[in-house]
Structure 1
Amino acid sequence: MAESSPAGAGGAPRPAAPAADGMLQIRGGVGGLTFQFEELLAGAAALDTVVGQLGSLESEADAVRRALFAYQSDAYASGTRAVIAAGEAARAVGRVRADLERLCRDVSASHREYEFTEARNSLLLRMGRIGPAFGPLWGRFGMPALTVRDIAEDGAARASGRMAILLGVPGALAGALGGSGGPPGVGDAVRGLGTASGFEFLRPRPVRIAGAETRTEDVDASPAGLLLRAEAVGGRSGEIEVLQLDGGSGRAWVVVIPGTQLDGLPAGTNPFDSGGIAEGLAYGSAETAAAIRQALREAGAKAGEPLAAVGYSQGGIHAMNLSQDKAFLAEYDLKFVLTAGSPVGGITPEPGISSLHLEHEQDWVPGADGQSNADTKDRVTVTLTNPLDVPPLADFGLGPGHRLGNYAFGAEAVAVSKDPSLQASTVALAAVVGSGGAATVTRFSLRREAMPAQKADRRPQARRAGPRKAAA
C-alpha cells in the first residue's frame, strides 16, 4: 500500500494515488485509492478494538495502584515504588491508547476528506464547471479533468451531441439524448428515442447464429494479443470469436467481440452496427448476450467452465454486460473482462469478476456514457497518455485515440508494468487463459432479425370511373 506518511513520521497513514508508469495512468485495483482506504478503515476498526482493550487495561492498572495505598505504610520505600510503578504503567498504557485513538480519528477524517473531494469534483463536472475559477479539480490522478475523454464524459452526462453522432442520430435530434443528465441519462434517452417514429431500429431485436467456422491455431493470450484478435474479427461483419484454450487447470474459454461496424444502415441485420451500441447502453446487450451463450454451447463449452470476455469499443460494452447478466453467469463462470476504448462506466460487474479497461486521454468514446469506471479492488482502468499522430481527414474515423492498434501498444506496456494493480490484473487474466499456444478457434457469424416490414395500406381506394371489362 502506498503511503504519503512513512512509518515513524508521526502522521496518520494516507493513501496515495499511484504514480504514472510511463505513459500509463492507473486507477483502481489493489493499488487504487478505494482499496487502500478499505484496508486503512479495516485496520482502524481493528485498532479501535485494541483501544477498548487498552482502556480496560489502563483501568485495571490504576485499580492496582489504588489498592497498593493500603499497604504503602507497611514498607514505605518499597510500597511507594510499587505505587509509582503501577501509576506509570497506567499512564504508559494511556499514552498508547490516546495515540491509537488519534490515529483512528485521522484515518476516518482522511476518508471523509477523500469522499468530499470526489463528490465535489463529480458535482462540478456535472455542472460543467471545469475552469480554474472553481479551484483545482484533483480527480482521478491528481490532474485537472480536462482530457478529451473526461470532457466527453461530462458532455454525455449532461446532453452530448457526441452521443448522437455515435448512434447515427441526426443533429436536429441530438438534444433528445440529454434528458435531465445524471448517470442513467444516456440509457434512458436511448430507450426514449427508440419509441419515436423513425427510430425503431434502436430497439433490440433477436440475434441468431447464421454460421460457424472452426480451425486450430496458435493463440497469443496476452492482453495485446487478445485485443488484436478483436481487430481481426472486426474485419468481417457480424462475427465473434470463441477460443478454447488450455487454462492450466483445464479447459478455458475466451469470447472476442469486435467494435462498431459502420458498413450498413443501423436498421440492418449486423448486430454490431450503431444499433448495437443502443442495445448495449440501454438494454444490457440482452439479445447479443443470448447469442453469445448459444455460440459457447455450440463451441463445446460446458456449464461452469471458466471464461474471459474481450471487447473493443462497442464490443467492450457487450463484454462488460455479460458480467452483470444473471442468466449468463448462471451458466458460465466469467472470471475476467478486458475492454479497450469502451464506455462501460455505468456497468457494475458481479462480485469476484475482475476487469481491465484501457482508455486513451484523447479518445472521447470511453466517456460517451457519461460515467467514469468505478475504482475497486477488482476493476483497473488504465489511461494511455502517449502522443498521437493526427491522421488525414479521410482516415480520421472516431479520432486517433480510438484506434485499436494504439490500444494494443498500450496493452503491451501493461503486460510489463511493475505497478501492483496491473500485475495483479494480468495475473488474474493469465489464471483464466493460461499462456496461450494451440487453441481451437471458432468464428460465429451473428445476424440480427430484420426490421418488420411496414404493413400494407389497407384503406379502401376510390375507384376510377371507366369502362368495365367483360367477364371471361
Structure 2
Amino acid sequence: MADVAPIGAGSAPQPTAPAPDGILSIRGGVGGVSCQLEELLRGAALLDDLVQQLIGVESEARAVQADLGPYLYDSYASGCAAIDAVAESRGEVGRVRQELVGISASVRSSHHDYVQTEVKNLFPRMLALDEMKMSGAPWVPGRDITHNVVTSIIPPGMGARGIMRGLLQSPLVPRLRPRPVTIEKIDESIEQVDPSMAQSIRRLESLHARGDGEIEIIQLDRDGSASWMVLIPGTQPDAPDSNPFDIPGVGEALGYDSEEVVPAIGQALREAGAEAGDQVVAVGHSQGGAHAMNLSQNKAFLSEFDLKYVLTAGAPVGGISPEPGISTLHLEHIQDFVPGTDGRVNPDTKDRVTVTLNNEVKTPEGEDPGLGPGHRLENYAAGAELVTASQDPSLAASSAAFAGVVGVGGTARVTHFKLERSPLPDKRQILQNPHLPESRSTAGAR
C-alpha cells in the first residue's frame, strides 16, 4: 500500500506559533523572527552569487561554441554534434539560471511579506492602551502600558533620549546633568562564587541595600585565564547627591549614554586587576542595566576590554544599540513598568534576546512595594533560573554564551568600588556659565 502523504503536503507552508516555554515569552536570538528574516536574505544573496557564476559558465560555453566554428568543415558531422552539444549545455545552464533568479525573487518577496506582517502585528500592542481605556479596566502599570504611554507623548522622529537630554540641558536644573565620577576601593575578598545568571542577579540585592553607589567586580577563572563580571545596582532613590545611582543618575544613563559612569567602571576594572583584552560580562538591574548596556556601545571601553555579554533585569534599554558580536539578554516582567519608560521596544536580533516573565507576582507581606512586585530582583532571579533551564534555541544559545565567559564558578576575588559624583560648582559659577557642571563630554573627551 502506498504511503499516504501528510495532510497539507504540497501546499504553501504556514507559520506556526512557537511552543510555549512556561511563563517565558521569548523574542530575538537565533530563533527570533529577525534572525530568520536575515537568513532569508542571506539565502537570496547566495542564490544571486550562483546566478552570477552560471552567467560566467554560459559565457565560457558561448566562447567554446565560437572556437569550434572554424573546425566545422574539417569533420562536419562530428563538428555539428560538438557545437550542438555545447549549445544544448549552455541552454540548460541558462534555464537553471532563470529558475534560480525566480527562486531568489520569491525568497525576497517572502522576506517582504514577513516584514509587513510583523509591522501589522505591532498595531494591536499600540492599541492596547486605548482598548483598556474603553473597557474601563483598572489601571495596572505594566511594561506594555508604560511603553504605549511614553510613545504617545514623544513627538514623531524624536526618541526618549532626545527628550530627556533636552530637559536635562536646561540651565534651571544643573544638578540633573552628569558630573565627573571618581572611584574608591572599599574592600576585597576571596570567596566562593556561583556566577550563574540567577545568582548574579541576587548579588545585586546586597549592592542595592548598601545604597552608597557601590559596584562589585568579580575576577573569575575561565579555563586558566581571568574573566570579569561587573555588577551594577539599580536606582538608589534615598541616596545623597554624591551617589551617581540616585534618581538623576537615570538621566545620565538614558540621556547621556552614562558618559561619566562608564569611564569610572573602566577605571574600577583596571584597579581590580583587569588587563586590556580581558573578557567582561556586565549585569545590571533597572538604572544599572542601562549603564551596563551603555558599556556595549562605548567605543573607548570596548577598545580596551572585550565585553562579551550584558544581562539586564527590569531595565529600559530599547534605545541602546550594542556593537556587533556582543550578546545581550533582557529580562522584563509583564507587571514591571520600568522597562517601558524609554518608549522603545528592544530590537529583535541574532545576538539580542528579550524574555518577558508573564506570571502574576505580589509584594511579600510586610515588605516595601517599591516600584511594584514585578520590579523585584528575586522575581528576576527566579526568571533567570527558568532561562538557564530552557531548551528554547535562542535561550540555549544565549545561556551558553554567558557560561562561556564566566565558567562554572568556584574561588573568586570580589572587589567593591564606591562611585562618587563630584559636587556642584559654586552657584555664581553656574550663573556665569549655565552649561556647568562641566562633564567629560563638554571638556572635549568625546
TM-score above 0.5: yes
Distance change >3 Å, CA 11–CA 41, structure 1 → 2: farther
CA 1:10–1:258 in structure 2 vs 1: closer, same or farther (change >3 Å)? same
Is it true that 1:409 corresponds to 2:403 in the alignment?
Answer: no
Please, what is the CA RMSD of the aligned residues? 3.9
Paired residues for 1:133-152 under 5 Å = 148-152=142-146
Compared with structure 1, are the counterparts of its residues 212 and 14 closer, same or farther at alpha carbon in structure 2 (3 Å cutoff)?
A: farther
The alignment status of 1:271 with 2:244, answered yes or no, reads yes
* Structure 2 match to 1:465: none
1:303 Cα deviation after fit: 1.5
Counterparts in 2 of 1:13 and 1:53: CA distance versus 1, 3 Å: farther
Residue 371 of structure 1 aligns to a residue whose secondary structure is coil
> Which of the numbers 192, 198, 215 marks the counterpart of 2:166?
192
Measured against aligned partners, the alpha-carbon deviations of 1:443-466 in whole angstroms (never above 9, x if no partner) come to 11222122334349x9xxxxxxxx
Question: Larger RCO: Structure 1 or Structure 2 (Cα < 8 Å, ≥ 6 residues apart)?
Answer: 2
Q: What's the offset of the Cα at 1:243? A: 0.3
Residues 270 and 447, structure 1, Cα contact 8 Å, conserved in 2:
yes
Out of 404, 409, 430, the residue aligned to residue 436 of structure 1 is: 409
CA distance in 1, matches of 2:12, 2:42: 14
Instruction: Find the residue that maps to 2:317 and give its secondary structure.
Output: coil
Correspondence 1:195-344 to 2 at 5 A = 195-196=169-170, 198-237=172-211, 238-264=213-239, 268-344=241-317
- The Cα of 1:239 is off from its aligned counterpart by 0.8
Larger Rg: 1
Q: Normalising by structure 1, what TM-score?
A: 0.75
* 2: CA distance, partners of 1:201 / 1:124: 40
Q: Spell out, residue by residue over 1:369-407, the C-alpha distance to the aligned partner (whole angstroms, 9 max, x if none).
A: 111111111111111112223556973321221111111
Which letter maps to 1:253? W
Decide whether aligned partners of structure 1 residues 348 and 94 sit closer, same or farther in structure 2, where only a CA change above 3 A counts: same
Q: State whether residues 309 and 402 of structure 2, in contact with CA within 8 Å, keep that contact through their aligned partners in structure 1.
A: yes
Distance in structure 2 (CA, Å) of the matches to 1:15 and 1:323: 34
Q: Structure 1 residue 211: deviation in Å?
A: 3.9
- In the aligned structure 2, how far is the partner of 1:158 from the partner of 1:379? 26
Cα gap change, 1:125 to 1:181, in 2 (>3 Å): farther
Structure 2 residue runs without a partner (length 5+):
1-5, 132-139, 432-446
Gaps of 5+ in 1: 1-5, 133-145, 160-177, 459-472
CA contact (8 A) 2:129 2:149 kept: no
Q: For the structure 1 residues 157 and 246, does the alpha-carbon distance in structure 2 shift closer, same or farther, using more than 3 Å as the test?
A: same
Task: Please state how far the C-alpha of 1:198 moved relative to its aligned partner.
Answer: 4.9
Is the CA contact (8 Å cut-off) linking 1:18 and 1:26 kept in structure 2? no
Match of 2:20 in 1: 20
8 Å CA contact 1:17, 1:32 repeated in 2: no
Preserved CA contact (<8 Å) 1:207 1:448: yes
How many aligned residue pairs are there?
410
The 3-state SS of whatever aligns with 1:345 is: coil
1:238-257 deviation line (CA, Å, top 9, x unaligned): 11000011022501111100
Read off the aligned partner of 2:330 and give its amino acid letter: H
AA partner of residue 451 (structure 1): L
**Aligned twin of 1:368:** 341
Q: CA deviation at 1:49?
A: 3.4
What amino acid is the match of 2:256?
Y
Which residue identity does 1:388 align to in structure 2? V
**What corresponds to 1:107 in structure 2?**
107
